[in-house]
Amino acid sequence: MSSKVEFPFPFTSDHYEYTNNSSPLIPARTVTVSSNYVEEVRLKRKLLEENHERCYRSLPISLESQWETLLLVFRELATYEPEHFSFKRRGNTYVFTNHLLQEEETFVYRDHSSIDFEPLDLVGRHVQEDLIVMGDRHDGLFLEAGQLCFPSNWSLTFVLGMEFKTIHTPVPAIAEFIEKVERFITRIRPNTAWERKNWSITISHKLDTPLETYSDWGKLRYHVTKENAGELVNLRVEVQRLFRLPVTNDILFSIHTYLLPLNELVANDDWLKKFYTNVKTLPQELADYKGISLYKPELLGFLEKALKRRKIER
């Protein structure tokens, strides 16, 4: 399957609207295996090896949820992708086999000495998703562990231990909205999953754009022109899933990131028109927050040219 066919195009209307846009997932899955699996998992592992402190952080309080996540994700992979993964129990020992990578993980549940990494760090090395554990405490949701290799301009180290609402402080004009989202998350029932799509724009086909390397990739924003936008600019979509862990009652937040170069996007008339109208109607403060303001005229210019070429009315 080509990556374009899999691409989760996020826009459903012809104008920008900030919404929760979550929908329940049946079956309640937390991860997806796409055609880029091997390439992306290898990239994740490389990033983890080179920048472990940037890509993996945890608080001791998260360990139980990490173990629960490990079992959940390994079981899910084996259940829904049996041609690629298997998961078996032999006495106290579990064996997970990744046929795509020809690897085997053997461990004893909750025995830390049986694994080389923390449980979340281990299971995250077998999925394309970034995995975050949010502790559901009586006074809010707190980010207590995360394996984050493909962030869009944020720092896992900075937000570790922070509460959900304060993590989102920089997002403009959404204080009330974020409270609603937090209430929504706290009401997610055990063993159920919800999914939403979140979009942004990345300059270059780069999945790993952490805040820590902003001074390297951020400067590319100044190089966008009407002529090179098709190649340089990518629509970035995060498929975000929230799953209530039934034993610890914490939340597993998974993020699967997809990139689509504009040259590929504009080949689809419906996508081209929706993307154009959404960028055009994006409020200024959100354009600033998403970093689009720097090259918005060039981006719109490129899209208008494509619309004209394909004889699509604006």
Partner 1 sequence: MKKALKTYRHVLIISDHVHRERAKCKQRELQNRDRFVQLKVISQLGDGTVEALLSEQPIGSALILCGEGALETERVAVSLGYARNDIYIETQQQMRAFCSQCHHITSLVTHERFVCENCRNQLEPSEHYSSYHRAHLAYPVFIESDD
Binding footprint of partner 1 on the chain (CB under 8 A): 53, 139, 155, 157-163, 165-166, 169-170, 175, 179, 211-215, 218-219, 222
Tokens of 184: 């929504």
Show the beta-strand stretches assigned E in 51-102: 56-58, 85-90, 93-98
List 196, 221, 236, 314, catalytic entry: 196
- Cα separation, 210 vs 151, in Å, equals 5
Question: Which residue shows structure tokens 């942004």?
Answer: 200
Active site residue 196: yes
Nearest-approach distance from CB 162 to partner 1, in angstroms: 5
Nearer to partner 1, 102 or 215 (CB): 215
**H/E run at residue 179:** helix 175-186
- In the three-class reduction of DSSP (H, G, I as helix; E, B as strand; rest coil), residue 272 is classed as helix
CA distance 149 to 52: 9
d(CA 95, CA 249): 25
The candidate with the shortest Cα–Cα distance to 251, out of 143, 147, 124, 126, is 143
Q: Tell me the C-alpha distance between 107 and 119, whole Å.
A: 10
Nearer to partner 1, 35 or 169 (CB): 169
| Identity of the residue, 95 or 162, whose beta carbon is nearer to partner 1 in the bound complex | 162
Q: State in angstroms the smallest separation of the CB of 170 from partner 1.
A: 5
- Residue 78 or 160 with smaller CB distance to partner 1: 160
* In the complex, minimum distance from the CB of residue 220 to partner 1, in angstroms, rounded to a whole number: 11
CB of 212 to partner 1, least distance (A): 6
Kindly list the catalytic residues: 196
